[in-house]
Amino acid sequence: MNAPSIDIHASTDGHALRGELTIRNVSHCRDVLLPLPAGTHHRLDLSGVSIIDGAGLQLLMLMLREASRQGTQLEFVAPSRAVETALAMARMQAPVAA
What are 15-61's pLDDT values in tens digits? 999 999 999 999 999 999 999 888 899 999 999 999 999 999 999 99
pLDDT of residue 98: 56
Q: What span, in angstroms and rounded, lies between the C-alpha atoms of 93 and 20?
A: 21
pTM: predicted TM-score of the whole model, two decimal places: 0.88
Q: Does 96 score more than 80 pLDDT?
A: no
Q: What span, in angstroms and rounded, lies between the C-alpha atoms of 89 and 69?
A: 25
pLDDT of residue 93: 67
Q: Render 22-42 in DSSP notation, one character per residue.
A: STTTHHHHHHHH-SPPTTSEE
pLDDT of residue 95: 66
Q: What is the set of domains in the chain, with CATH numbers?
A: 6-97 (3.30.750.24)
